[in-house]
Amino acid sequence: MKNWQILILLVLCNLFWAGNYVFGKFVISEITPLWITFSRWVLALFFLFPIAYCFEKIEWEIVKKDWLLLTSMGVLGVIGYNMVLYSALAYTTATNAALVSALNPGIIVLFSVVLTGERISKLQSAGFILSLTGVLLILTNGELPRLLQANYNQGDLLMLAAVLIWTLYSLISKKIQTPPIIATAVSSAIAVLVMAPFAIFQGINFAAIKPLALGGIVYIILFPSVCSFVFWNLSVKAIGASKCGIFLNLIPVFTAIICVILGEEITIAQLLGGLLVFLGVYLTTGMLEKRQTSQSL
């Protein structure tokens, strides 16, 4: 695969993920977080298993050995993260949600350091503090004294919870031996089985759902759930996870651009907070990568 093809795949991948925040904002007004998550993944499974069969060798013995980790991935990454994310979108803007989620790489590094005992440099520590400051600016809309008032947007706090859930999911996913697409398909299937009785009990009136929400669900199923994941894995296979990870910073950028096109205003606090988050993530994760590379030489 040529470099320009990989570039296009990564740009599209993150553009589709950004659309998940925007379309999720429309869908949550008519469909509950449980039913968005359930319908998204139950239909995505019809695509994920055939794709996994085509791209990866399915070794069920390995899958059986990883069943506990795969179950944890399903509960955390598929059910927990998505339900908390869509719940957050009911209270905050898509731009804010995307900017807070940009803290993810730094939090993952922090948890890895705490759990493995690995040391980080002063620059990496400064990077984490910058990222956290950026998120606090976003949470308080630029008024840091509000931190003492304990009065925050519920959606932004839910996004922080989503970041923590995704961090745990990411740390677990590193431990499995099952190939990534198969792991996603299997963990999603487990999550669907867990959600099914709750979704049936809650019920849903499909006739009352407006076309815009239905279109949003179709988008979420086809693009963030299937296309983005396939594009991402093809790119990781071609150039590696570390280089692909840099492109994740496009998600808040694309989200903000889409929201501006749709008429949402971007505040100075969001701009400044977003810049601090990006700079902090670069110092926390980019410098760590350089350190690991130098140690391996």
Give percent above pLDDT 90 in the chain. 26
The model's pTM = 0.81
Predicted confidence band at 294 (pLDDT cuts at 50, 70, 90)? very low
pLDDT digits (tens, 9 = 90+) for 142-158: 776 665 555 667 898 89
Lowest mean pLDDT among 94-98, 99-103, 233-237, 256-260: 233-237
pLDDT at 242 over 60: no
User: 97 or 141, which is more confident?
Assistant: 97
Would you state the structure tokens that stand for residue 277, as one six-digit string? 């988050």
What number is the average pLDDT over the span 26-33?
Answer: 90
User: 23 or 248, which is more confident?
Assistant: 23
The helix/strand/coil state of 45 is: helix
Yes or no: say if 129 and 293 are a contact pair by the CB < 8 Å rule: no
What number is the average pLDDT over the span 98-124?
Answer: 74
- The label of the residue with tokens 């059986």 reads 64
pLDDT at 254 over 50: yes
What number is the average pLDDT over the span 97-114?
Answer: 77
Question: What is the DSSP track for 117-172?
Answer: -----HHHHHHHHHHHHHHHHHHTTT-GGGGGGT---HHHHHHHHHHHHHHHHHHH
User: Cβ neighbours of residue 242 under 8 Å, at least 6 residues apart?
Assistant: 289
Total domains in the chain come to: 1
pLDDT at 65 over 60: yes
The helix/strand/coil state of 89 is: coil
What region, left, alpha or beta, does residue 197 occupy, with left being phi > 0 and alpha being psi -120 to 50 degrees?
alpha
pLDDT digits (tens, 9 = 90+) for 38-63: 998 999 999 889 988 888 888 889 99
Q: What was the pLDDT predicted at 295?
A: 41
| Single-letter amino acid, residue 164 | L
Average confidence score pLDDT of the chain:
82
Alpha-carbon span 17 to 261, nearest angstrom? 17
Alpha-carbon span 47 to 1, nearest angstrom? 23
pLDDT digits (tens, 9 = 90+) for 161-212: 998 998 888 888 878 888 888 988 999 999 999 999 999 999 988 888 888 8
The helix/strand/coil state of 292 is: helix
Domain that holds residue 193: 3-296
Q: What was the pLDDT predicted at 85?
A: 93
What number is the average pLDDT over the span 211-219?
Answer: 88
* Per-residue DSSP letter, 262: T
Would you state the structure tokens that stand for residue 204, as one six-digit string? 């849903």
